Structure 1
Amino acid sequence: MSLSRRTLAAGIGGAVVAAGLCATGIATAREDRGRSGRRPQTRTIRYQGSAGAVTPLELAAGLGYLEDVRLEWIGNSTSGPQDIQATVTGDTDIGGAFNGAIIRLIAAGAPITSLYSYYGVDAEVWSGYYVREDSPVRTVRDLADRTVGANTLGGQAEDVLRMRLRSAGLPAGRARSAQIVVVPPVSAEQALRSGQLDVAVLGGILRDAALERGGIRPVFNDYQVLGAFSCGCQVMRDGFVHDNPDTVRAVVGAVARALAWSQSRPAPQVIDRFRRILKARKRAEDASALQFWKGYGVAGRGGVIDARELSVWRDRLVDDGIVDRRDAPLDRLYTNRFNPYSGAA
């Protein structure tokens, strides 16, 4: 297995160039103008899903909150950065990713805005950084120069790691010496046990199953670093929001209600709804992992975005010289004006 590092810059650059060339054209081609000269607002939202899982957007549809807005599933996302890049280029109308990845893309010129939080970390929903029992890694500082398996570059696992290394007193250069290696989550445990990785980031059912098998131990987890904290948002293109404000308000309001519904119900009741949604959409999916669902981890009621949920990552990216603060002002990164649980609505 070849464990080589790629940079996110190429993907971001390609997305931004593609956005400049075709995002507006795609949106215009899809929506015909009416006799009055105003473009009719679309009532169809194209999106990517996740196999065997139910996103807050899909939950909103399953609960009937979307009313006459129709979801068009175009496939499953391979990662958060890929999902929001698909939104930038106009292949989808909505996408979601870790907030640090969103900031990188916006700072690079992508015309997107975060509309609501859709996943996070809490006492029940978190990921740990695990090593083998016999590993020489004993403290956070020992993670410098190690290979760390994560699902994508420029994602939450990488930024949390850099943040934790800096808080342990390592200078920026040493904090960046830990090498992120892209590994599918289902393969991370085996890569760790076979010695191909020094560290593996494990969460959810994959973490629980690995711990049950034994032979690994944690160095730290992201809940210890962040506490209860929303970590990712769903975004739309600015042009799409401008042209379809009523549809956007309907979508954000519906998802906000769905998130609030999931936050106020016991997990078994939410899981039962998930099973019905998976059965109804007929994608031949394995629903076995649903039994381990413990929540979305969203901190704000209804997915309302707290400025700190973006500023903490922006400040880290600025300190490391990855992003210029002038390219990522907070009021450019997100809005709560469509969320009925926000005073800005």
Structure 2
Amino acid sequence: MTSSRRSFLVLTGLSTLAVAGCGTASGSGGVRNTRTLRYQGQAGQVNPPELAAALGYLGDLKLDWVGNTISGPQDIQSAASGQIDFGGAFNGAVVKLASRKAPIKAVVSYYGSDKYAYSGYYVAEKSAIRQPRDLIGKKVGMNTLGAHAEAMLDIYLKKNGLSRAEAEQVERIVIPPVNTEQSLRQRQIDVAVLGGILRDKALATGGVRKLFSDFELRGAFSAGTYVLTERFIKQNPETVRTFVTGVGKALDWSRTTPRDEVVAKMTEIVAKRKRNESADALKFWHSYGVSAPGGRIEEQELSVWSDWLAERGDIKSGQVSVSDLYTNEFNKSHTKAGS
């Protein structure tokens, strides 16, 4: 999946969300276990819940598509306010929203980085940029600030010995993903962050060189999770269990099934849902990038971003209890001792 779902600086201006009493599909009162989950999708893409539904892993639980999301932060904010039942975003955005007292909980990972699905930081083939320190004074183009791409850049610079003051001299420029490659070739920027189809297209054209990637920097890791409100979870435990387990099974299926078969299934899903969209991008799909079996969440997948946000001054150290921000309780796609 692409990095377009990563923007979350919009959350900076959010006041404390008074969502504890907001409505959900389950209404008020005791346990209801709704059989329908409202959600937002992405044009031309098939997310893990949609794949799970098509494979029969959700049983009689239905997904109710209410439109397409414009970003991960918008998606989880909509979930927090009860406009939809689940939303997904970069884990840094999840931590950021939780810091605003939104009563949300991450329940399953849904995208990440691996040897197939990764974001690369590319320079022109003949660029003089060869090492981290060469980036001082240079422009790096990315889809948004304060999210996945900038976090990886900061980690890369820090890991290679640049001080915070030196790192701040690396200019970060917001550029729409579809224009990033062109901006690099026209020398409007010195480094382009590219992933998915846009990365593959640039590599096929040639003339670019990879400086580093998030996969090379951190290895395989899950980077984003689906969240639900604590209230929804309390009122719909069986629904949540079906949803989380089904998504986990779909992730495992996508990882163990021949790629051509996965792409064929996704193409079939897009054709059947009739949303006036193109399935052409699916031919470039390789992986969701989720490293853990069943999409189980590891604490460090959230704590690394909590630490990064605190270092930036976006949140206070200890402001978010990461251990309380996620649960694997409902994920029965794989069992783990002590869970």
Give the TM-score taking structure 1 as reference length. Answer: 0.89
Q: CA deviation at 1:84?
A: 1.5
Asked if 2 retains the 8 angstrom alpha-carbon contact of 1:336 and 1:342, the reply is no
Distance in 1 separating the partners of 2:221 and 2:27: 41
3-state SS of the aligned residue for 2:204?
helix
Match of 2:79 in 1: 87
3-state SS of the aligned residue for 2:75?
helix
Asked if 1 retains the 8 angstrom alpha-carbon contact of 2:11 and 2:96, the reply is no
Which has the larger displacement, 99-108 or 58-67? 99-108
User: Does residue 62 of structure 1 match 2:54?
Assistant: yes
Out of 23, 26, 47, which is 2:23 matched to?
A: 26
Distance in 1 separating the partners of 2:320 and 2:181: 36
Match of 1:243 in 2: 235
Q: CA deviation at 1:8?
A: 4.9
1:61-210 alignment runs, 5 A limit:
61-210=53-202
Q: Give unmatched runs, 5+ long, in structure 2.
A: 1-6
Q: CA deviation at 1:315?
A: 2.4
Q: CA deviation at 1:150?
A: 1.9
Out of 198, 202, 224, which is 2:216 matched to?
A: 224
> CA-to-partner distance for each residue in 1:230-262, whole Å, 9 max, x for gaps?
111111111211221111111101111111111
Asked if 1 retains the 8 angstrom alpha-carbon contact of 2:26 and 2:235, the reply is no
Which has the larger displacement, 134-143 or 67-76? 134-143
Give the TM-score taking structure 2 as reference length. Answer: 0.90
Which has the larger displacement, 283-292 or 156-165? 283-292
Amino acid across the alignment from 2:88 = G
> CA-to-partner distance for each residue in 1:165-209, whole Å, 9 max, x for gaps?
111111123223433333222121112222332221111221111
> CA-to-partner distance for each residue in 1:251-300, whole Å, 9 max, x for gaps?
10111111111121111111111111111101122111212211111111
Out of 271, 278, 289, which is 2:270 matched to?
A: 278
Match of 1:325 in 2: 317
Amino acid across the alignment from 1:188 = T
> CA-to-partner distance for each residue in 1:108-127, whole Å, 9 max, x for gaps?
32211111111111112211
Out of 249, 257, 278, which is 1:265 matched to?
A: 257
Matched residues, number: 331
Asked if 2 retains the 8 angstrom alpha-carbon contact of 1:148 and 1:198, the reply is yes
> CA-to-partner distance for each residue in 1:62-94, whole Å, 9 max, x for gaps?
111112211111222222222212222222211
Q: Give unmatched runs, 5+ long, in structure 1.
A: 1-6
Aligned-residue identity in percent: 46
3-state SS of the aligned residue for 1:251?
helix
> CA-to-partner distance for each residue in 1:320-345, whole Å, 9 max, x for gaps?
33332322222122111011114255
Out of 289, 295, 303, which is 1:297 matched to?
A: 289
User: Does residue 53 of structure 1 match 2:50?
Assistant: no
Asked if 1 retains the 8 angstrom alpha-carbon contact of 2:89 and 2:225, the reply is yes
CA shift in 2, pair 1:281/1:293, >3 Å:
same
Distance in 1 separating the partners of 2:238 and 2:62: 14
CA shift in 2, pair 1:204/1:32, >3 Å:
closer
Q: CA deviation at 1:105?
A: 1.7
Asked if 2 retains the 8 angstrom alpha-carbon contact of 1:99 and 1:310, the reply is yes
CA shift in 2, pair 1:59/1:220, >3 Å:
same
CA shift in 2, pair 1:76/1:177, >3 Å:
farther
Amino acid across the alignment from 2:278 = D
3-state SS of the aligned residue for 1:24?
coil
User: Does residue 252 of structure 1 match 2:219?
Assistant: no
Distance in 2 separating the partners of 1:249 and 1:79: 26
- Over the aligned positions, Cα root-mean-square deviation in angstroms equals 2.1
Which has the larger displacement, 182-191 or 267-276? 182-191
Amino acid across the alignment from 2:92 = G
Distance in 2 separating the partners of 1:128 and 1:47: 30
3-state SS of the aligned residue for 2:318?
helix
